[in-house]
């Protein structure tokens, strides 16, 4: 055990020493023995719980300062306490994505010599939203303050809020139209934005003059600073109580314990070996207004992931074979990839709450240089990183789940997440003022199924473990649209023995404005963005947008005639077309179009999760209840699951067990008759592969992957027994 009281070293030297010790000993900061824990385990646990309580309490207090419904309603915030070197000791609940991204931000400032210039002194406030320094995307703005005690730097307090408006080329935070960094909005690049516990007036003025809705950003800044000061003062009081040397030792032991706990948990819950999976994402922008011709307009992304669980319990994720970065907003930095890993791990393996950067240290990400996971160009846009992050970490959830199933912890298996598409807007508000906002009801999509039950309906997203769609009335206060419907979408979960959770669709009437820009992001086109598991199907996640311009809704309302409240279940003719007159719009891909005005109707649907297990094993009784409650249609019950429903005396669906058995036997026989040996299929498909007889976007996807990855090329060539490079014209 190396004993390091508050170090006399400059902080940059201390960071380098800490990393060297980790390299040499394999333990965080060279802590090979948890001596304080061994001396007094109860005190150890009590102090860690206290730190966590400081964080949780600071976050709850700060949410009341914020003006943003994203933070107040949905909880898009996290706070944490760090070591002087920037490693997370304890964190609150909330968007835990940012615990390690903030760590990268602090370390970046230390490495850049901030101790000399601009200086790090008591009362300073530093802010950042540059993903190449340490965050996920522009709207994730973080603030940190140093904690000094007895004149020495003894830690940091940090806070992140997701901003609903970032001042980019399109309104909102996840700036969908950004194709380069220069259109993403207001950047704050590891900047000292305050001194003596106060935000600088010139920084606030910059925010006020560069954002469509500065009240969100500026009050979030105040909320974050308040939470940081609250945590700082709590830590200082704790140090007064336990002594500075004790604090310096125990804060690091917490992290080493976190690292060991993660490794132990992996050995307890999983099985060592290699796990593989993949997913896809389609991006369709051809012909849409605003897109600059910087690259191909339509993209198909493949995301293959290989996860290794080593005999020591380390989890290694390798993204070899995925696509290059592109001129779109969906690229991700290593900090963002860390964030995806961290938030997934905290949900799936660290649910007891005492989690910190130690868990991250027990994992490794292999992010091929030049791909969307690790761009070799720092000018790329990352404003909608989640578009690719969510599918990627949905695969991670399925891979982990395979390991839980193998080990017997079936209750932890969880098919995972899909994208939670987002709608953002700006223009003239219902009050006649300039406004801009991201609508965060997307924080309550459907989850993937579990291995023992159906997924969660309208109650899950990967990036915020405390899902909440917010109250309709609050959203209506903040935008010039009123809800005319918020409905569960039947069959939106992937089918399976256990179905994926269903999602919902909102239908709005544009109200009291003549200029409302609506933009959507993070929804895949032409392909599903994630899968099912163990025989379950993927959820249908390539929904289009439907709108009506200049509708006759006010006339209908005046006459008391029925209105459209959702799009319905006929994919060929929506309820909007049935009920409303006007200019009907169906749009694939990002919704980027001319401004809307009062009387227009717009719909946006979120995604459900993938299914688990063979559909022919689904419980008929539960299915009857699903049909009654609108989670499944009768058509799906019979056609997909083979479940025959009758009606009771009151007209409610009831399962006909005998008819179901007969129907399922027929379906199984049909399956066996239709299926052919995989070897036959491979032999036939090989001819198509050899000729590269695919859509242009598919061909381009293969060629791009092959250019970047010899391993992908080799695996592809070996599987099909073809010369892949020659087939796809790769030099």
Partner 1 sequence: MTSYSKEVIADLVAGTLPWPQTRRVMSAYKDDDRFFKYVAVLQDRVGWKDPILLPVSDHLFICQSGDERVTRCECGHSFGDYRKNWKLNASIIVRNTEETLREIYPNSDLPDPEWMEIREFICPQCGTMHEVEAAAPGYPIVHDFEPDLEGFYRDWLGKPLEPMNKES
Residue 287 touching partner 1 (CB under 8 A)? no
Binding to partner 1, residues 603-632 (CB under 8 A): 612-616
Residue 279 touching partner 1 (CB under 8 A)? yes
Strand pairing category for 504-510 and 481-488: antiparallel
Residue 418 touching partner 1 (CB under 8 A)? no
Residue 591 touching partner 1 (CB under 8 A)? no
CB within 8 A of 361, min separation 6: which ones? 22, 28, 255, 258, 259, 262
List strand residue ranges (DSSP E) for 433-582, in order.
434-439, 481-488, 504-510, 516-521, 545-549
- Residues binding partner 1: what is the number (CB under 8 A)? 92
Nearer to partner 1, 430 or 525 (CB): 525
Nearer to partner 1, 44 or 275 (CB): 275
Nearer to partner 1, 51 or 636 (CB): 636
From 152-160, 241-249, 634-642, 643-651, give the range in contact with partner 1 by CB under 8 A: 634-642
Nearer to partner 1, 649 or 673 (CB): 673
Nearer to partner 1, 234 or 346 (CB): 346
Binding to partner 1, residues 645-674 (CB under 8 A): 668-669, 671-672, 674
Q: What is the separation, in whole angstroms, between the first and last Cα of the chain? A: 54
From 92-100, 140-148, 416-424, 692-700, give the range in contact with partner 1 by CB under 8 A: 692-700
Minimal distance, residue 35 CB to partner 1, in Å: 25
Binding to partner 1, residues 486-505 (CB under 8 A): 489-492, 495, 497-498
CB within 8 A of 235, min separation 6: which ones? 51, 54, 81, 147, 149, 154, 155, 157, 247
Alpha-carbon 601 to chain mean position: 28
Residue 715 touching partner 1 (CB under 8 A)? yes
Strand pairing category for 77-82 and 434-439: unpaired
Residue 584 touching partner 1 (CB under 8 A)? no
Is the Cα torsion angle 318, 322, 327, 330 positive or negative in sign? negative
Residue 324 touching partner 1 (CB under 8 A)? no
Binding to partner 1, residues 538-557 (CB under 8 A): 538, 540, 542-544
Secondary structure of residue 277 in the 3-state scheme: strand
Q: Is 596 exposed, middle or buried (0-12, 13-18, 19+ CB in 10 A)?
A: buried
Residue 237 backbone dihedrals phi, psi, to 5 degrees = -65, -35
Q: Give the CA dihedral 318, 321, 325, 331, nearest 10 degrees.
A: -40
From 131-139, 142-150, 399-407, 548-556, give the range in contact with partner 1 by CB under 8 A: 399-407
CB 501 within 8 A of CB 455: yes
Half-sphere exposure of 483 (CA within 13 A, CB side): 16
Residue 681 backbone dihedrals phi, psi, to 5 degrees = -60, -45
- The greatest distance separating any two alpha carbons of the chain, rounded to the nearest whole angstrom, comes to 82
Residue 320 touching partner 1 (CB under 8 A)? no
The secondary structure element, H or E, covering residue 506 is strand 504-510
Residue 240 touching partner 1 (CB under 8 A)? no
Residue 121 touching partner 1 (CB under 8 A)? no
Half-sphere exposure of 364 (CA within 13 A, CB side): 11
What is the chain's Cα-based Rg?
26
Minimal distance, residue 367 CB to partner 1, in Å: 20
Give the one residue of 262, 302, 429, 521 binding partner 1; rule: CB under 8 A. 302
Minimal distance, residue 401 CB to partner 1, in Å: 11
- The contacts found for 112-116 with CB under 8 angstroms, 24 or more apart, are 112/190, 113/12, 114/190, 115/10, 115/11, 115/12
CB 468 within 8 A of CB 349: no
Pattern 354-393, binding to partner 1, x per CB under 8 A? ----------------------------------------
From 30-38, 129-137, 451-459, 575-583, give the range in contact with partner 1 by CB under 8 A: 451-459
Q: How far is CA 617 from CA 495, 496, 613, 671, 678, in A?
A: 11, 8, 8, 14, 24
Minimal distance, residue 8 CB to partner 1, in Å: 42
Binding to partner 1, residues 421-450 (CB under 8 A): none
Residue 42 touching partner 1 (CB under 8 A)? no
Residue 485 touching partner 1 (CB under 8 A)? no
From 1-9, 102-110, 145-153, 678-686, give the range in contact with partner 1 by CB under 8 A: 678-686
Residue 725 touching partner 1 (CB under 8 A)? no
What is the spatial distance between Cα 331 and Cα 494, in angstroms, rounded to a whole number?
A: 27
Minimal distance, residue 490 CB to partner 1, in Å: 6
Nearer to partner 1, 101 or 417 (CB): 417
Give the one residue of 121, 646, 695, 729 binding partner 1; rule: CB under 8 A. 695
CB 424 within 8 A of CB 137: no
Residue 527 touching partner 1 (CB under 8 A)? yes
Residue 676 touching partner 1 (CB under 8 A)? yes
Binding to partner 1, residues 128-167 (CB under 8 A): none
Give the one residue of 86, 416, 436, 536 binding partner 1; rule: CB under 8 A. 536
Binding to partner 1, residues 334-353 (CB under 8 A): 351
């Amino acid at each position: 055990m190396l004993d390091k009281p508050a170090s006399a070293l400059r902080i940059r030297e201390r960071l380098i020493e800490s990393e060297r010790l980790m390299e040499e000993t394999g333990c965080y900061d060279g802590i090979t023995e948890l001596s304080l824990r061994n001396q007094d385990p109860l005190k150890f646990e009590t102090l860690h719980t206290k730190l966590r309580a400081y964080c949780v309490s600071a976050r709850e207090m700060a949410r009341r300062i914020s003006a943003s419904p994203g933070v107040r309603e949905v909880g898009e915030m996290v706070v944490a306490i760090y070591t002087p070197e920037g490693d997370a000791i304890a964190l609150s609940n909330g968007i835990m994505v940012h615990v390690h991204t903030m760590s990268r931000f602090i370390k970046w400032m230390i490495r850049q010599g901030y101790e000399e210039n601009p200086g790090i002194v008591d009362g300073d406030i530093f802010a950042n939203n540059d993903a190449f320094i340490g965050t996920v995307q522009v709207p994730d703005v973080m603030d940190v303050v140093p904690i000094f005690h007895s004149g020495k730097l003894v830690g940091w307090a940090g806070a992140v809020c997701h901003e609903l408006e970032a001042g980019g080329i399109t309104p909102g935070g996840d700036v969908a139209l950004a194709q380069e960094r220069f259109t993403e909005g207001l950047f704050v690049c590891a900047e000292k934005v305050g001194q003596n516990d106060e935000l600088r007036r010139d920084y606030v003025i910059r925010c006020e003059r560069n954002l469509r809705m500065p009240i969100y950003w500026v009050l979030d800044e105040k909320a974050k600073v308040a939470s940081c000061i609250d945590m700082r003062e709590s830590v200082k009081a704790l140090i007064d109580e336990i002594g500075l040397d004790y604090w310096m030792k125990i804060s690091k032991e917490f992290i080493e314990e976190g690292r060991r706990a993660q490794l132990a948990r992996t050995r307890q819950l999983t099985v060592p070996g290699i796990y593989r999976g993949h997913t896809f994402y389609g991006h369709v922008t051809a012909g849409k207004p605003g897109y600059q011709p910087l690259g191909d307009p339509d993209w198909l992304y493949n995301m293959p992931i290989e996860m290794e669980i080593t005999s020591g319990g380390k989890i290694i994720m390798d993204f070899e074979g995925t696509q290059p970065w592109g001129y779109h907003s969906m690229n991700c930095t290593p900090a963002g990839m860390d964030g995806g890993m961290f938030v997934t791990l905290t949900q799936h393996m660290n649910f007891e709450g005492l989690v910190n950067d130690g868990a991250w240290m027990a994992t490794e990400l292999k992010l091929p240089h030049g791909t969307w996971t690790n761009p070799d160009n720092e000018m790329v846009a990352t404003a909608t990183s989640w578009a690719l992050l969510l599918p990627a970490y949905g695969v991670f959830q399925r891979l982990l789940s395979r390991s839980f199933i193998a080990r017997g912890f079936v209750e932890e298996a969880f098919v995972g997440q899909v994208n939670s598409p987002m709608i953002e807007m700006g223009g003239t508000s219902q009050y006649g003022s300039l406004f801009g906002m991201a609508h965060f009801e997307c924080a309550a999509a459907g989850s993937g199924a579990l291995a023992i039950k159906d997924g969660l309906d309208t109650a899950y997203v990967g990036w915020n473990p405390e899902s909440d769609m917010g109250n309709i009335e609050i959203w209506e206060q903040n935008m010039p649209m009123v809800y005319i419907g918020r409905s569960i979408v039947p069959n939106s979960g992937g089918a399976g023995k256990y179905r994926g959770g269903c999602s919902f669709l909102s239908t709005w009437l544009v109200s009291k404005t003549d200029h409302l820009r609506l933009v959507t992001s993070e929804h895949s086109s032409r392909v599903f963005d994630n899968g099912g598991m163990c025989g379950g199907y993927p959820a249908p996640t390539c929904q289009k947008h439907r709108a009506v311009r200049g509708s006759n809704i006010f006339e209908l309302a005046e006459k008391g005639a029925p209105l459209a409240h959702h799009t319905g279940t006929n994919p060929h003719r929506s309820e909007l077309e049935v009920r409303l007159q006007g200019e009907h719009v169906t749009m694939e891909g990002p919704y980027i179009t001319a401004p809307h005005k009062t009387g227009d109707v717009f719909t946006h649907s979120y995604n459900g999760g993938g299914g688990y297990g063979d559909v022919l094993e689904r419980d008929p009784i539960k299915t009857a209840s699903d049909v009654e409650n609108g989670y499944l249609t009768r058509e799906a019950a019979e056609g997909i699951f083979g479940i025959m429903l009758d009606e009771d005396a009151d007209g409610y669906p009831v399962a006909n067990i005998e008819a179901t058995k007969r129907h399922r036997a027929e379906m199984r026989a049909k399956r066996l008759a239709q299926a052919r040996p995989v070897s036959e299929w491979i032999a036939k498909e090989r001819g198509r592969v050899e000729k590269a007889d695919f859509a242009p976007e598919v061909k381009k996807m293969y060629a791009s992957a092959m250019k970047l990855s010899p391993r992908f090329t080799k695996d592809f060539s070996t599987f099909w027994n073809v010369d892949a490079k020659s087939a796809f014209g790769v030099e």
